[in-house]
């Protein structure tokens, strides 16, 4: 079995497990068993990343060490050969993978070996063949924030765009600091009235945070305008795509018209006794 060329991010063209199993039945079975275990405790995105990292290493073995038929035969030499092999993979719009991607792939593979050794799996190598020093060091520059002039230019460009969703997106992200994944996952009942003003409920996400953010009245009106013009009231998301494009996700069980519950973080909302609870629903929802 020869290693296939890798595509986008050096990963998209990796062989599927169905292709790997005939040549490496024991290795594939162990790796898939591991993925089933971590899927019980990690988020789907983390499991998907582990899946890619393991298939990448399996593809390397298929190309460079086809004689390895079980993980017990993996040695330090295989890891030392794998690192330059991985570094030579093409990246997205780049001739090679980024340092961050390489560090993630190697770190994920190392944790695989560490865990199956700790779990006492018979398939584990006699000793963990990877060390923290195998991961390339990364630069950690400070985040680049928009200055007032750049933010103003971005807002003007968004306001001049014919698509209302562009303006809503830019203003929501600039005014709230949401992550893109948090923004695209906002539920239809995310805007609530607390006291005299509107607040945005950001549900548990990547960092397992559940919080409320104050909304500027202008932004609330903008959300109302967009939903009135483009959104079916029964749609589970607050700001879905325009022009009736289908939503392909699965609504969360929490997607409902229930009143918001007090958040667990005491500093996220006003603590005055004048704050009504449950909050009144905004018309944006």
Tens place of pLDDT per residue across the chain (285 aa) = 343 343 444 444 678 888 888 888 999 999 999 999 999 998 888 999 999 999 999 999 999 999 999 999 999 999 999 999 999 988 777 888 889 999 999 999 999 999 999 999 999 999 999 999 999 988 777 777 778 888 888 888 988 888 888 888 888 888 888 888 888 888 888 888 888 888 988 887 665 677 888 888 888 888 888 888 888 888 888 888 765 443 443 433 333 333 444 444 333 333 333 333 344 444 444
Is 66 among the domain residues?
A: yes
Q: Are residues 152 and 277 in the same domain?
A: yes
- Residue 165 covered by a domain: yes
Same domain (yes/no): 155, 277:
yes
- Give residue 157's domain range: 148-245+259-281
Q: Are 6 and 89 in contact (CB under 8 A)?
A: yes
- Check whether residue 175 and residue 273 sit in a common domain: yes
Domain co-membership, 157 together with 277: yes
Say what the pLDDT of residue 11 is: 45
Is residue 48 within a helix (H) or strand (E), and if so which, with residue range?
A: helix 44-64
Residue 141 located in a structural domain? no
Domain count, the chain: 2
Distance CA 171, CA 169 (A): 6
- pTM for the model: 0.60
Same domain, 152 and 275: yes
């Amino acid at each position: 079995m020869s290693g296939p060329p890798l595509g986008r991010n050096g990963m998209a063209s990796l062989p599927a497990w169905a292709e790997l199993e005939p040549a490496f039945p024991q290795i594939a079975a162990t790796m898939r068993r591991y993925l089933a275990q971590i899927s019980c405790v990690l988020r789907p995105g983390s499991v998907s990343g582990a899946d890619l990292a393991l298939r990448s290493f399996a593809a390397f073995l298929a190309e460079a060490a086809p004689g390895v038929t079980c993980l017990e035969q993996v040695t330090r030499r295989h890891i030392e050969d794998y690192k330059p092999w991985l570094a030579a993979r093409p990246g997205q719009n780049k001739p090679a993978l980024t340092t961050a991607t390489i560090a993630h792939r190697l770190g994920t593979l190392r944790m695989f070996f560490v865990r199956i050794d700790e779990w006492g799996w018979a398939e584990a190598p006699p000793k963990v063949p990877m060390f923290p020093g195998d991961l390339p060091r990364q630069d950690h520059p400070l985040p680049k924030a928009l200055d007032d002039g750049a933010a103003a230019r971005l807002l003007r460009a968004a306001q001049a765009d014919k698509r209302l969703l562009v303006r809503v997106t830019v203003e929501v992200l600039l005014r709230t600091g949401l992550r893109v994944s948090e923004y695209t996952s906002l539920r239809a009942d995310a805007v609530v009235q607390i006291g005299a003003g509107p607040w945005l409920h950001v549900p548990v996400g990547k960092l397992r945070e559940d919080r409320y953010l104050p909304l500027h009245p202008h932004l609330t009106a903008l959300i109302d305008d967009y939903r009135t013009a483009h959104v079916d009231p029964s749609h589970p998301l607050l700001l879905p795509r325009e022009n009736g494009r289908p939503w392909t996700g699965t609504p969360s069980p929490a997607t409902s018209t229930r009143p918001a519950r007090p958040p667990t973080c005491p500093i996220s909302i006003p603590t005055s006794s004048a704050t009504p609870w449950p909050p009144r629903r905004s018309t944006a929802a």
